[in-house]
Amino acid sequence: MTRAPAPAKINLALVVGPLRDDGKHEVLTVLQRIDLVDRLELDEAPELRVEGFPEDTLVAGALRELARAAGIDPRWRVRIEKKIPVAAGLGGGSSDAATALRLANATLPEPLSREELLAIAAGLGADVPFFLADGPQLGRGDGSELERLELPQDFWVVVLLPRRAEKSSTADVYAAFDARKGPAGFAERRSTLLDGLAQVTRPRDLAALPPNDLTTSPLADEIRAAGAFRADVSGAGPALYGLFHQRADVSAARRSLRRLGRTWVAAPAWYG
Protein backbone atom coordinates (compact mmCIF):
# COMPACT_ATOMS: atom_id res chain seq x y z
CA MET A 1 0.00 0.00 0.00
CA THR A 2 1.20 3.52 -0.80
CA ARG A 3 -0.07 6.82 0.52
CA ALA A 4 0.29 10.42 -0.65
CA PRO A 5 -1.24 13.84 -0.06
CA ALA A 6 -3.27 15.48 -2.83
CA PRO A 7 -2.92 19.27 -2.37
CA ALA A 8 -5.40 21.97 -3.29
CA LYS A 9 -4.55 24.84 -5.64
CA ILE A 10 -5.38 28.49 -5.82
CA ASN A 11 -5.33 30.66 -8.92
CA LEU A 12 -3.11 33.61 -8.09
CA ALA A 13 -4.40 35.13 -11.32
CA LEU A 14 -6.85 34.01 -14.00
CA VAL A 15 -7.28 35.85 -17.30
CA VAL A 16 -9.86 34.40 -19.68
CA GLY A 17 -10.24 34.93 -23.40
CA PRO A 18 -12.53 33.80 -26.22
CA LEU A 19 -13.68 30.32 -27.09
CA ARG A 20 -11.21 28.18 -28.99
CA ASP A 21 -12.01 25.83 -31.85
CA ASP A 22 -12.18 22.93 -29.37
CA GLY A 23 -14.97 24.66 -27.43
CA LYS A 24 -12.76 25.59 -24.49
CA HIS A 25 -11.78 29.11 -23.49
CA GLU A 26 -8.28 30.47 -23.93
CA VAL A 27 -6.84 31.20 -20.49
CA LEU A 28 -3.69 32.41 -18.82
CA THR A 29 -3.51 31.47 -15.16
CA VAL A 30 -1.03 31.33 -12.30
CA LEU A 31 -1.42 28.07 -10.40
CA GLN A 32 -0.12 27.61 -6.86
CA ARG A 33 -0.41 24.53 -4.65
CA ILE A 34 -1.24 24.92 -0.98
CA ASP A 35 -0.99 22.43 1.85
CA LEU A 36 -4.71 22.00 2.32
CA VAL A 37 -4.77 18.36 1.23
CA ASP A 38 -6.84 15.28 0.61
CA ARG A 39 -5.08 12.02 1.42
CA LEU A 40 -5.04 8.97 -0.82
CA GLU A 41 -3.97 5.41 -0.24
CA LEU A 42 -3.68 2.90 -3.08
CA ASP A 43 -2.95 -0.77 -3.33
CA GLU A 44 -3.48 -3.49 -5.90
CA ALA A 45 -6.81 -5.30 -5.81
CA PRO A 46 -8.85 -7.82 -7.83
CA GLU A 47 -10.87 -4.99 -9.37
CA LEU A 48 -11.08 -1.20 -9.39
CA ARG A 49 -12.63 0.25 -6.24
CA VAL A 50 -12.68 3.85 -5.01
CA GLU A 51 -13.65 4.21 -1.36
CA GLY A 52 -14.19 7.07 1.06
CA PHE A 53 -15.76 9.51 -1.40
CA PRO A 54 -18.88 8.11 -3.09
CA GLU A 55 -19.20 11.09 -5.45
CA ASP A 56 -15.86 10.36 -7.15
CA THR A 57 -15.80 9.83 -10.88
CA LEU A 58 -12.47 11.46 -11.78
CA VAL A 59 -10.14 9.10 -9.90
CA ALA A 60 -11.92 6.04 -11.27
CA GLY A 61 -11.80 7.49 -14.78
CA ALA A 62 -8.11 8.32 -14.43
CA LEU A 63 -7.23 4.79 -13.40
CA ARG A 64 -9.26 3.26 -16.21
CA GLU A 65 -7.40 5.46 -18.70
CA LEU A 66 -4.06 4.49 -17.15
CA ALA A 67 -4.92 0.81 -17.38
CA ARG A 68 -6.05 1.20 -20.99
CA ALA A 69 -2.81 2.94 -21.92
CA ALA A 70 -0.79 0.23 -20.15
CA GLY A 71 -2.78 -2.58 -21.74
CA ILE A 72 -3.97 -4.07 -18.44
CA ASP A 73 -7.16 -4.32 -16.40
CA PRO A 74 -7.66 -1.60 -13.76
CA ARG A 75 -6.98 -3.52 -10.57
CA TRP A 76 -6.46 -1.02 -7.80
CA ARG A 77 -8.22 -0.02 -4.61
CA VAL A 78 -8.07 3.67 -3.75
CA ARG A 79 -9.26 5.24 -0.53
CA ILE A 80 -9.79 9.02 -0.50
CA GLU A 81 -9.87 11.02 2.71
CA LYS A 82 -11.48 14.31 1.67
CA LYS A 83 -10.42 17.57 3.31
CA ILE A 84 -10.52 19.94 0.32
CA PRO A 85 -14.01 21.42 -0.17
CA VAL A 86 -15.79 19.90 -3.15
CA ALA A 87 -16.69 22.04 -6.20
CA ALA A 88 -15.10 25.13 -4.66
CA GLY A 89 -12.53 26.17 -7.28
CA LEU A 90 -9.65 24.55 -5.35
CA GLY A 91 -8.95 21.63 -7.69
CA GLY A 92 -9.48 18.83 -5.20
CA GLY A 93 -10.88 16.34 -7.71
CA SER A 94 -8.13 17.09 -10.22
CA SER A 95 -5.49 16.71 -7.54
CA ASP A 96 -6.95 13.38 -6.41
CA ALA A 97 -6.91 12.11 -10.00
CA ALA A 98 -3.31 13.17 -10.58
CA THR A 99 -2.17 11.63 -7.30
CA ALA A 100 -3.94 8.37 -8.09
CA LEU A 101 -2.27 8.33 -11.51
CA ARG A 102 1.19 8.75 -9.95
CA LEU A 103 0.63 6.08 -7.31
CA ALA A 104 -0.90 3.55 -9.68
CA ASN A 105 1.70 4.14 -12.39
CA ALA A 106 4.41 3.25 -9.88
CA THR A 107 2.82 -0.19 -9.43
CA LEU A 108 3.12 -1.08 -13.14
CA PRO A 109 5.88 -3.47 -14.25
CA GLU A 110 6.69 -0.92 -16.96
CA PRO A 111 5.49 2.49 -15.74
CA LEU A 112 4.33 4.97 -18.34
CA SER A 113 6.59 7.90 -19.12
CA ARG A 114 5.94 11.36 -17.74
CA GLU A 115 4.78 12.51 -21.16
CA GLU A 116 2.27 9.64 -21.37
CA LEU A 117 0.94 10.46 -17.89
CA LEU A 118 0.57 14.12 -18.83
CA ALA A 119 -1.38 13.16 -21.96
CA ILE A 120 -3.79 11.11 -19.84
CA ALA A 121 -4.07 13.94 -17.34
CA ALA A 122 -4.85 16.53 -20.02
CA GLY A 123 -7.68 14.35 -21.28
CA LEU A 124 -9.23 14.30 -17.81
CA GLY A 125 -9.34 18.04 -17.19
CA ALA A 126 -7.33 21.21 -17.64
CA ASP A 127 -6.13 21.34 -14.02
CA VAL A 128 -4.99 17.71 -13.76
CA PRO A 129 -1.58 18.11 -15.48
CA PHE A 130 -0.66 20.88 -13.04
CA PHE A 131 -0.76 18.41 -10.17
CA LEU A 132 1.86 16.25 -11.92
CA ALA A 133 4.28 19.21 -12.10
CA ASP A 134 6.43 20.72 -9.36
CA GLY A 135 6.16 24.26 -8.07
CA PRO A 136 3.98 27.15 -9.27
CA GLN A 137 3.09 27.09 -12.94
CA LEU A 138 1.77 29.38 -15.63
CA GLY A 139 -1.10 27.64 -17.43
CA ARG A 140 -1.72 28.59 -21.07
CA GLY A 141 -4.09 27.40 -23.77
CA ASP A 142 -6.96 25.70 -21.93
CA GLY A 143 -4.78 25.84 -18.80
CA SER A 144 -3.03 22.51 -19.33
CA GLU A 145 0.01 23.91 -21.21
CA LEU A 146 2.39 24.57 -18.34
CA GLU A 147 5.45 26.72 -17.79
CA ARG A 148 7.39 26.63 -14.53
CA LEU A 149 7.39 29.91 -12.59
CA GLU A 150 9.90 31.13 -10.03
CA LEU A 151 7.63 32.81 -7.50
CA PRO A 152 8.22 33.67 -3.84
CA GLN A 153 6.78 31.03 -1.55
CA ASP A 154 7.23 32.74 1.82
CA PHE A 155 3.65 33.75 2.51
CA TRP A 156 0.58 32.35 4.25
CA VAL A 157 -2.87 31.72 2.85
CA VAL A 158 -6.33 31.88 4.35
CA VAL A 159 -9.03 30.03 2.40
CA LEU A 160 -12.67 31.06 2.87
CA LEU A 161 -15.65 29.02 1.68
CA PRO A 162 -18.58 31.39 2.18
CA ARG A 163 -21.52 30.19 4.22
CA ARG A 164 -24.42 28.96 2.08
CA ALA A 165 -22.21 29.24 -0.98
CA GLU A 166 -23.84 27.62 -3.99
CA LYS A 167 -21.49 27.15 -6.89
CA SER A 168 -22.89 27.33 -10.36
CA SER A 169 -21.46 24.72 -12.69
CA THR A 170 -18.18 25.71 -14.26
CA ALA A 171 -19.95 25.71 -17.64
CA ASP A 172 -22.52 28.19 -16.29
CA VAL A 173 -19.77 30.44 -14.87
CA TYR A 174 -18.10 30.56 -18.30
CA ALA A 175 -21.46 31.14 -20.02
CA ALA A 176 -22.12 34.12 -17.75
CA PHE A 177 -18.62 35.41 -18.54
CA ASP A 178 -19.37 35.22 -22.27
CA ALA A 179 -22.79 36.84 -21.82
CA ARG A 180 -21.23 39.93 -20.26
CA LYS A 181 -18.69 40.08 -23.12
CA GLY A 182 -15.88 39.07 -20.77
CA PRO A 183 -13.47 37.97 -23.52
CA ALA A 184 -13.21 41.56 -24.85
CA GLY A 185 -9.81 43.03 -24.05
CA PHE A 186 -8.19 39.63 -23.44
CA ALA A 187 -4.94 40.56 -25.19
CA GLU A 188 -4.47 43.60 -22.95
CA ARG A 189 -5.25 41.68 -19.75
CA ARG A 190 -2.94 38.90 -20.86
CA SER A 191 -0.12 41.40 -21.35
CA THR A 192 -0.84 42.97 -17.97
CA LEU A 193 -0.54 39.56 -16.28
CA LEU A 194 2.72 38.68 -18.05
CA ASP A 195 4.19 42.12 -17.31
CA GLY A 196 3.14 41.79 -13.66
CA LEU A 197 4.72 38.35 -13.33
CA ALA A 198 8.01 39.72 -14.66
CA GLN A 199 8.08 42.18 -11.75
CA VAL A 200 7.40 39.67 -8.95
CA THR A 201 10.38 39.31 -6.63
CA ARG A 202 8.67 39.28 -3.21
CA PRO A 203 5.25 38.11 -2.03
CA ARG A 204 3.73 41.61 -1.91
CA ASP A 205 4.37 41.97 -5.65
CA LEU A 206 1.66 39.36 -6.27
CA ALA A 207 -0.87 42.04 -5.28
CA ALA A 208 -0.29 43.77 -8.64
CA LEU A 209 -1.48 40.78 -10.71
CA PRO A 210 -4.87 41.33 -12.40
CA PRO A 211 -7.98 39.99 -10.65
CA ASN A 212 -9.90 36.85 -11.57
CA ASP A 213 -11.74 37.42 -14.85
CA LEU A 214 -14.37 34.74 -14.32
CA THR A 215 -16.01 35.74 -11.07
CA THR A 216 -15.75 38.18 -8.18
CA SER A 217 -16.97 38.34 -4.60
CA PRO A 218 -17.48 41.26 -2.20
CA LEU A 219 -15.94 39.02 0.45
CA ALA A 220 -12.53 39.69 -1.10
CA ASP A 221 -12.82 43.16 0.45
CA GLU A 222 -13.48 41.54 3.84
CA ILE A 223 -10.32 39.46 3.50
CA ARG A 224 -8.26 42.51 2.57
CA ALA A 225 -9.76 44.37 5.53
CA ALA A 226 -8.50 41.49 7.70
CA GLY A 227 -4.94 42.26 6.54
CA ALA A 228 -4.41 40.34 3.29
CA PHE A 229 -2.15 41.99 0.72
CA ARG A 230 -4.03 40.12 -2.02
CA ALA A 231 -7.47 38.49 -1.99
CA ASP A 232 -9.53 36.98 -4.78
CA VAL A 233 -11.76 34.11 -5.84
CA SER A 234 -9.97 30.90 -6.84
CA GLY A 235 -10.87 29.47 -10.24
CA ALA A 236 -14.62 29.43 -10.86
CA GLY A 237 -15.23 29.77 -7.11
CA PRO A 238 -16.93 30.03 -4.76
CA ALA A 239 -13.87 29.67 -2.48
CA LEU A 240 -11.72 32.77 -1.90
CA TYR A 241 -8.15 33.15 -0.69
CA GLY A 242 -6.13 35.84 1.00
CA LEU A 243 -2.33 36.15 1.11
CA PHE A 244 -0.53 37.25 4.29
CA HIS A 245 3.09 37.85 5.26
CA GLN A 246 3.03 36.48 8.81
CA ARG A 247 1.55 33.37 10.42
CA ALA A 248 0.19 35.42 13.33
CA ASP A 249 -1.62 37.72 10.90
CA VAL A 250 -3.22 34.90 8.92
CA SER A 251 -4.32 33.17 12.12
CA ALA A 252 -5.95 36.37 13.37
CA ALA A 253 -7.63 36.85 10.01
CA ARG A 254 -9.00 33.33 10.08
CA ARG A 255 -10.62 34.00 13.44
CA SER A 256 -12.22 37.21 12.19
CA LEU A 257 -13.46 35.61 8.95
CA ARG A 258 -15.11 32.56 10.53
CA ARG A 259 -18.35 34.49 10.78
CA LEU A 260 -18.50 34.40 6.97
CA GLY A 261 -18.02 30.67 6.43
CA ARG A 262 -15.55 27.81 6.73
CA THR A 263 -11.89 28.83 6.88
CA TRP A 264 -8.50 27.16 6.62
CA VAL A 265 -4.91 28.38 7.06
CA ALA A 266 -2.40 27.02 4.55
CA ALA A 267 1.07 27.59 3.15
CA PRO A 268 2.45 27.12 -0.35
CA ALA A 269 3.25 23.51 -1.24
CA TRP A 270 5.90 22.68 -3.82
CA TYR A 271 4.60 19.28 -4.96
CA GLY A 272 2.15 16.57 -4.03
The residues carrying an active-site annotation are 9, 127
Instruction: Give the residue among 78, 35, 76 at the shortest CA–CA distance from 53.
Output: 78
Using CA atoms, how far apart are residues 130 and 149, in angstroms rounded to an integer? Answer: 12
Q: Are 80 and 40 in contact (CB under 8 A)?
A: yes
d(C-alpha 27, C-alpha 175), whole Å: 15
62/145 Cα distance (integer angstroms): 19
- What pairing do the DSSP bridges indicate for beta strands 49-51 and 76-81? parallel
Axis-axis angle for helices 58-70, 114-124 (nearest 10)? 140
- The three-state secondary structure class of 200 is coil
Alpha-carbon distance of 245 to 270, in angstroms, equals: 18
CB 216 within 8 A of CB 233: yes
